[in-house]
Structure 1
Amino acid sequence: MRAAIVDSVAPVLVLLLLGSPVAAQEPQKSGRLKNIEQCNGADRVPAQVRIAGCAALINSGDIRADALAVAYNNRGNAYSAAAEYDRAIADFDRAIELASGYVKPVNNRGVAYLRKGAYDDAIKAFDEAIKLKPGYAGAFANRAVAHLKLNQYDRAARDFDEAIRLDPDLTLAWSGRCWTRAVTGDLQAGLDDCDRAIKSGPNDAAAYDSRALIRLKMGQLAAAIDDYDSALRLAPGQAGALYGRGLAKLRQGDKAGGDRDVSAARLIEAKVGDEFARRGVQ
């Protein structure tokens, strides 16, 4: 499963304009606003451009501490998107130092640890975020993903339940709980979760992959193949989706097509079959 994660970009524009008289000076205004736009850019702006925009604000030396914390948070997200996780964590640490009680970089530090593969550190960060903001649905969903990485399915399910209770529109929580239930065998409830996730976010490859696993386990082979097709269309080259589709084809009697998918999956991830065995599918 390609787990989705909630990270948080904060708008730095208002804080900068309130905190820096230089921002109102006409000769520098256009350059400053461009840097703000880049730093606020999230996924719409390439990571290196976001990093440069935030760095220019951080290095300007004339913005107040709360705006500086936002700039560090946003640059941390850009570093994380560029897979520079240690730099991201350093920026989140700095944002937390500058603005006590600012919860977004606490959550985002957990995201960086999660993407880095430091799952225990990620859980500690999400614990801290939830302590600061008990109603933070995204932090519960992120902690659930970290629990999934450690095969702690009961804990993951509880966190997804809480994320959904706090924010019923959080699509990744429905998708994540679907995957959890697919693995643990709560198939009909998992199917309902995936249907909800796909209705809300039809371009979520993970939700299609999760629903495909449920349908494979339920023996709904044609429907499983359709869902694996959708997952691969949205995110080509997923070993799990290829392997699952191959198993479904083999069970339908399509030996050539099934062997082709299984072989392709094993070239991408040699132990993908072991993963499916742990999920209860062989």
Structure 2
Amino acid sequence: MVKHRALRASVFTLAIMALLPPAFASDKALSDCVSLGVERRISGCTSFIARGKAVKPGNLAIAYDNRGSAYYAKGEFDRAIADDNKALELNPTYAIAFGNRGLDYEAKGEHDRAIADFNQAIALNPTFAVAYHNRGIAYEAKGDGDRAIADNTKAIDLNPRFADAYNNRGKAYGAKGDYDRAIVDFTKAIAVDPTLALAYGNRGAAYGAKGDHDRAITDESKAIELNPQNAVAYNNRGISYVSRGALDNAIADFTRAIELSPTFAGAYIDRGKAYEGKGELDRAIADDSKAVELNPTYALAFSNRGDVEEAKGDHDRAIADDSKAIELNPAFADAFENRGKAYEAKGDLLHAVSDFRKMHKLVPDDLDASANIARIEHMIAANPQGTESSPAIVAPPTAVATSLPTGAGDERRVALVFGNSDYSAVEALPNPKRDAESIAAALRNEGFVVTMAVDATKAQMVASLREFETDADRSDWALVYFAGHGLEMGGRNYLIPVDAHLANDRDVDDEAITLDRIENAVAGAGKLRLVLLDACRNNPFVAHMQRTAGISRSINRGLKSVEPDSGTMVVFATRAADTAEDGNTDHSPFAAAFLKELRTPGLEVRRLFDTVRDDVLDATDHHQMPFSYGSLSSRQDFYFLPPK
């Protein structure tokens, strides 16, 4: 269960009276235009605006902005934006109108437009505390917690009694997992404004995240007392009741949250977990299904429903729901674990161990993931025939052979081959396309089902990897070969699609493919996982790439050494931090050596790549030395072409 926290944006002050002559003070349209009543304000401002040229442009601008703030309060954000546009047309230096239009855009989820308007408001009025605060909310919505904290800190510097700024800075700290700082800020917000229900609710959520459920319940109860319509506070108190084992109290709170907010998908999920805890599985499934109906992209809802279906023994439905959760969130470690358990229960050990490996890749320190992998691998080794339709029978460790030669035989082998030559932003590379075509043909001759992608864009690489991942999950061997440009930035390795421009270091994450993504694609193979990278060429992108001011990130032409999971081998065309040659012949030195040794019978995989290394050293006068990373089981030998 996830504690929910609420943000509150600060509405900018109505300012029209300060700019008008005293003679207008008794003017009904004017007094209505600055009233707090929403409908009254709309009516008054509309009447005032109708006077047209009889009113100074600056005062008309304020009237439009005030009416826009009323439309904002009604949730009519497009009308609010139209009025703020008119206000800014009349007065292009009207900081409040920029700030209010930013609020309108933020309410519509257009965070970048909101930030642009808050920037304008701050440029016009550098002491505008509310604009800093609201920009912080927009940054928080974009997941930029550091900037959110900086903006709320600036707002507090400008106005030390700004309760909402303390509250929202606390939320940003909480999102970073810094619950102690979050609690300090929520407490300061409460000290400034003891009626701020959101601050009590958020502090309760932070206490709950720290496991202090008694304090959490106390704070959520206070939030409810201050605002009985606060659905989030009811839901968060319910989560703390679950943690204390008070499931009936929890269900009552979740139900009240749903009554107050019928589209609150999270409350249905949380009530479903409480029903599951009581053993009321059908009710749990009904609540998870309602959450899916309300939010079809809610990965947690699918995963939780899968948990309950697995508890009912419906393995196929559990697998389907966990698969959907993973499709929606490929980094959802719990969904991989739960699907792995469902596969294990069905006796499908290859799929089970594949999912446990993927979980381990996402959470390397999770002991359950390591234990699951070890258990299933032992079951597979002890009884290789028991991996599909029935659970394997575990044999004593002494029954495991010390060397199980593996050739093509009845194994399923799949490969994905990339050859990126024709880069749009830099000079083309002659060899990768030829290398890829030749290696794809050679692998097919050795029994691989090969998918080839030549001159692939980012979108094409991602699509190919997704499709290949499904094939790898059903295979014994999975191999990815990439020829083209690659680089290392900030300790991570990236492979570069042909449509990348990489004008700025920030573009790398958006325009390139991480090596981690490649490793994930092969992770599901049951026996051997290979990644071959001829991607260490002298990279022209690095020379022209702009660096982000204030951020220290090393950018290198070569690749960084890696530590792949057991059973996975990653082979670089040259050592970490070195650059490889593209070659003066039809193939790069690495591709030529691999093609030669691939056709040699009886070369075990580890020995094969040792031989490739020696061949490349000879061909390059010892300027280039391929390097292999990872460890394969000593109990099994692997051959592209078995001994004769």
Q: Which TM bucket (shorter chain)?
A: 0.7 to 0.9
Describe the shift of the 1:229–1:184 C-alpha distance in structure 2 as closer, same or farther (beyond 3 A). same
Trace 1:22-37 onto structure 2 (pairs within 5 A).
30=26, 33-37=27-31
Unaligned segments of structure 1, at least 5 residues: none
TM-score of the aligned structures, taking structure 2 as reference length: 0.39
**1:259 corresponding residue in structure 2:** 251
Structure 2: distance between partners of 1:113 and 1:171: 23
Of 95, 103, 106, which aligns to 1:111?
103
* Residues 101-137 of structure 1: CA deviation (Å, up to 9, x unaligned): 1100000000111122222211111111112222211
Bigger Cα displacement from structure 2, 252-261 vs 133-142: 252-261
**1:83 corresponding residue in structure 2:** 75
Give the Å deviation of 1:151: 2.2
Trace 1:151-162 onto structure 2 (pairs within 5 A).
151-162=143-154
**1:232 corresponding residue in structure 2:** 224
Q: Within the alignment, does 1:38 sit opposite 2:32 as a pair? A: yes
Contact 1:12–1:40 (CA under 8 A) maintained in structure 2: yes
Give the Å deviation of 1:264: 4.6
**2:265 corresponding residue in structure 1:** 270
Give the Å deviation of 1:72: 1.0
For residue 4 of structure 1, what is the amino acid of its counterpart? R
Give the Å deviation of 1:95: 1.0
Of 4, 7, 22, which aligns to 1:3?
7
Give the Å deviation of 1:213: 1.1
* Residues 181-226 of structure 1: CA deviation (Å, up to 9, x unaligned): 1222212221111111011112212111110011112222121111
Unaligned segments of structure 2, at least 5 residues: 271-299, 305-333, 335-644
Point out the structure with the larger helix share: 1
Contact 2:241–2:247 (CA under 8 A) maintained in structure 1: yes
Structure 1: distance between partners of 2:143 and 2:257: 22
Point out which structure has higher relative CO (alpha carbons under 8 A, 6+ apart): 1
Q: Percent identity?
A: 33
Q: Within the alignment, does 1:149 sit opposite 2:141 as a pair? A: yes
**2:49 corresponding residue in structure 1:** 58
TM-score of the aligned structures, taking structure 1 as reference length: 0.85
Give the Å deviation of 1:7: 2.3
Q: Aligned residue pairs: how many?
A: 265
Describe the shift of the 1:116–1:183 C-alpha distance in structure 2 as closer, same or farther (beyond 3 A). same
Tell me the SS of whatever aligns to 2:21.
helix
Bigger Cα displacement from structure 2, 234-243 vs 187-196: 234-243
Describe the shift of the 1:172–1:14 C-alpha distance in structure 2 as closer, same or farther (beyond 3 A). closer
Tell me the SS of whatever aligns to 2:127.
coil
Trace 1:91-170 onto structure 2 (pairs within 5 A).
91-170=83-162
Structure 2: distance between partners of 1:263 and 1:50: 37
**1:13 corresponding residue in structure 2:** 17
Contact 1:181–1:187 (CA under 8 A) maintained in structure 2: yes
For residue 41 of structure 2, what is the amino acid of its counterpart? R
Structure 1: distance between partners of 2:78 and 2:6: 22
Bigger Cα displacement from structure 2, 185-194 vs 237-246: 237-246
